[in-house]
Amino acid sequence: MLATALVSGLSLGSIYGLIALGFTLTFAVSGTVNFAQGSSVMLGAVICYAIAIGLRWPMLMAIPLALVVCAIWGLIVERIAVRPFVARGSNAWLMATVALGIVLGIPDQIFATVTQYVFLTAVAAVGTAATISAAVLQRQRP
C-alpha cells in the first residue's frame, strides 16, 4: 500500500511539474501565459487514450498523434485568443485563454459525467460495493 501511494504521488507530482514547466517555458518564450494550458494537457491525454484504447493503436503511434493534435490546438489558441489582443496592446487575451480552456473542458465534463453515472449504476446493480484490483468502492448513501 505504501508503494502504491509513493508511485501515485510521484506520478501526480511529475504531472504537476510538467505543467508548471509548460507555464514557465511559455512565459519565458512569448511573455504571455496560456490559462488554457491545463485543458490542453487534458486534450492530449484524452486524445492519446482514445487512440490507444478506443482505436487499439499502439501507444508509440498514439502519443505522436496526440502531440500533433495539441500543437494544432496551440496554434489555434495563439491565432484566435492571444495574437489579436496582444497586437492591440490589450490584456484581454488572459480572459480569452480562460474561456477557451472552459470551452475545451465542456466535452470532458459531459463524457466524464456519463462515465461516472454508468459506473455508479453498475455498482448499484451489483450491490453495495465494487472491487477493482485491491480497491473496494462503496456506494455512498445521502
Q: pLDDT tens digit string along 59-108?
A: 899 999 999 998 998 888 888 888 888 888 888 888 888 888 888 877 77
Distance CA 140, CA 106 (A): 26
The phi, psi pair for 32, rounded to 5°, reads: -125, 160
Percent residues over pLDDT 90 in the chain:
8
The phi, psi pair for 65, rounded to 5°, reads: -65, -40
pTM: predicted TM-score of the whole model, two decimal places? 0.60
Parse the chain into domains and list their residue ranges: 32-138
